[in-house]
Amino acid sequence: MRFLRLVGILLIVARHRLDRLLPADRPVPLRYRALLVLVRLVPAPGTSPAASLRLTFESLGPIFIKFGQILSTRRDLFDEETANELQKLQDQVPPFPSHEARRVIESSLGESVDRLFNQFDVDPLASASVAQVHAAVLTTGEEVVVKVIRPGIRPLIERDLKVMYMMASWLERIWVDGRRLHPVDIVRDYERTVLDELDLQLEAANTTQLRANWQHSGKLYVPKVYWDYTRNNVMVMERIYGLTAADVAGMRARNVNMKRLAHLGVEIFFTQVFEDNFFHADMHPGNVFIDATDPENPTYIALDCAIIGSLTEDDKNYLARNLLAFFHRDYNEVARLHVESGWVPADTDVHEFESVIRSVCEPVFQKPIAEISFGRVLLSLFQTARRFNMEVQPQLVLLQKTLLNIEGMGRQIYPDLDLWETAAPFMERWMKERMGVGGLFKRLRHNAPGLLEQLPELPQLAIDALHEIRALGRNNREQTLVLSQLRTELQHQNRARRLNRMGGVALVAALIAALMPLTGVAATHEALLGSSLLGSLGVYWMFIRP
């Protein structure tokens, strides 16, 4: 079955002539040239290579469409045209029959749909690659949406993932840039993402946490999850109403304060990243709604929390310092932080790296503020850093993708969005709080329970540490003594080897002298005496000497 699927995929790839995406100036290994020759017998379509890649994903079905959507966010890997073409992939796919959705709900929740809900809409509100959503009303009267995983989707995903791994591995071997782009790692990231999306209890947990973080903020609303109706393949949550983030005309018709809304989106993003360390990493317009009830103070509604990002404390610290250095155009600090954080190798020439960063960023800063995309500045920096063997940082790629989404959505709402105006004061305040006295007390308060728990054990820990230090001292002395003995023994062995070599030479010399008469050479009395002495010394050094 997998073999037939692979053959079908290769035929579609050949029909769209995706070989055109391979750089013409890069040699293809000899063992793959015959295959490429066969592919190139197929006439090239009229579409561009980038458009052909998008059409290939569309032809291959929902799992590859989802893969293409995720690839569209990896602008660190693709040129602008390819990324834009992949972004055109639509999330709408044909829905599966409603009777199958009912069967999944009933088998998961153990009750008939008619007993679970007062009303259940047969036609889905939306249908995506992995799941579809139906509107319903609970028996208690609350309006909800019911998200249902596509029946039988897991075996199809696992089959196509195996094929993707095969193709990615092949691409790494056939394409020189394949090693740098890590296609196998990209498929592995996709596997993790798509399999997480199959677990609706994980999405429900993420949704509940994000809701708790923002419940009383008045800035971001996250719908309530009904846990009694939620399982791995079914999730029931509160139904919300609002304008999609892409409905700019609708917002203008309601006289929404667009500038405030755009800046609020930036504030929400940076708060999620740096204060909550729990950020919604899939905030494209389809997952973000606008509550325009109060047009002067609009707020956001977040949906689909399957993909959540977080950073380590070190990464947050380095990222914040990098952002502030960018804001202040301190390129030496940016270069130094990249080395210090380990994002580029430790032997990187900081001054050379600084010059390259300046050459990338200075032309950008000469533009009007409304034309500067901070997300694209970061993207250009990551692409430039590849020259210095900067490995792709998965946690930063997810963050960068989210920042691009937020900035793009904000610019769509308010074209003159100045991301720096909101971000810079936020970052400066965050760094001040983190590094100041308040930040110190906050960390102490956070660590206090653990410290108090260990407090009774501190005397014993101190005694154990002293014992270990004494034992370490004894071990060091013993090791020093052993090393000294080894050194003496090695010296004796070296001296013995030298003497043995001298004894061997003496024996050979004595043997030659003793054999001289047999060869017709007259031996003098002195020669015979010398031979005897040499032979005696050789026997002593090699056999008698202790």
Backbone dihedral angles phi then psi of residue 137, each to the nearest 5 degrees: -130, 125
Query: In 3D, which of 305, 62, 123 has the Cα closest to residue 200?
Result: 305
Q: In Å, how far are 99, 115, 127, 136, 367 from 121, measured between CA atoms?
A: 11, 14, 14, 6, 51
d(CA 465, CA 331): 45
Instruction: Give the pair of three-digit tokens for residue 19.
Output: 């070989």
Active site residue 185: no
The string of DSSP codes covering 149-189 is EPTTHHHHHHHHHHHHHHHHHHHHHH-TTHHHH-HHHHHHH
| Beta-ladder partners of 328 | none
The catalytic position among 160, 282, 304, 418 is 282
- Pull the structure tokens for residue 470: 């004494």
Residues 397 and 405: their CA atoms lie apart, in Å, by 12
The total of other beta-carbon atoms located within 10 Å of residue 317's CB is 17
Please name which of 381, 385, 364, 382 lies closest in space to residue 373, comparing C-alpha atoms.
364
Q: Which residues lie closer than 8 Å to 415 by C-beta, 6 or more apart? A: 370
The residue whose two tokens read 């045209």 is: 81
157 neighbors 150 (Cβ within 8 angstroms) = no
Q: Are 407 and 375 in contact (CB under 8 A)?
A: yes
Beta strands in 86-139 (DSSP E): 117-120, 126-127, 131-138
Q: Could you write out the DSSP letters of every residue in 451-489?
A: HHHHGGGHHHHHHHHHHHHHHHHHHHHHHHHHHHHHHHH
User: Can you list the alpha helix ranges (DSSP code H) found in 245-393?
Assistant: 248-253, 258-270, 313-327, 331-341, 350-365, 374-385
Beta bridge partners of 131: 149
Residue 244 sits at φ, ψ, to 5 deg, of: -70, 155
Contact criterion met (CB below 8 Å) for 151 and 104: yes
Active-site annotation, residues: 282
